Amino acid sequence: MELSKYIKSESVELNRSAIRFADYNPRKLSDESRKTLKRGIKKFGLVGGIVVNKRTGLTVVSGHQRLSVMDELQKFPDNDYRIRVDVIDVDEKQEKELNILMNNPNAQGSWDFDALARIVPDIDWKDAGLTDADLNMIGVDYLLQTEEENSIADALSDMMAPVTEQSEADKAAKQLERAEKVAHMKEVKQQVKENAQKQAENMDAYVMLSFDTYEAKAAFCERFGYDPDMKFIKGEVFDEQVERID
């Protein structure tokens, strides 16, 4: 069977030093997003092709951020590592069009939040690149990981990097630990919710009096033994005054 006529690239291995970034690349990556990408590459490897254009001197068309993270992990340029890329041969105008198209959300799909919500409990959502905002949007009902927990998770991931296999018993233990953690998160979330409700109730425990004239206010204050110039009176003090008058 012949290769599809729509396949326009060739997969080859090159030295990293042969490839150059596009100086016009309009894409940027926040520190948090870079951290997420790095975490994913460390766990899964470099999955998905980096596209370079032969006609413009092996300029990167797609994959700038992934290549940048790979450079960091491989300690480039001190280490000139080998990498597999997809090579195309187009003019500079088409190269720029592809650079935008291959990173453009308008040319990509959108999430089915109901389907995504069913998947999230079965995965490590941080490793999938999801954020707390994503989980809120999806409607997943458990407390999100803190930055401290994320740092611990990253440290553990680094420690476990040399391990290539894991027994079924270890996997079961990990799943149990995660289930216990989720249960604890739910409990903490409920406590936070209850405390917030109590604070809201306490904010309603006051009453405001309004007088037409200063003389009316002064008469009221003198009736209960307060300075007419006071603007705030604590409730427990007022109760004591009422009991004394009674």
Cβ–Cβ under 8 Å, residues 84 and 11 = yes
The per-residue pLDDT for 161 is: 59
pLDDT at 143: 44
Q: Are 51 and 94 in contact (CB under 8 A)?
A: no
Q: How far apart are CA 196 and CA 193, in angstroms?
A: 5
Q: Please, is 125 exposed, middle or buried when counting C-beta atoms within 10 Å of its C-beta (0-12, 13-18, 19+)? A: buried
Q: What is the pLDDT of residue 144?
A: 46
Contact by Cβ (8 Å): 82, 15: yes
Categorize the per-residue pLDDT at 127 as very low, low, confident or very high, splitting at 50, 70 and 90: confident
Q: What is the mean pLDDT of residues 159-177?
A: 67
Confidence class for position 193, pLDDT limits 50, 70, 90:
confident
What percentage of the chain carries pLDDT values higher than 90? 37
- Has this prediction a pTM greater than 0.75? no
Among 3, 10, 2, 17, smallest CA distance to 90 is for: 10
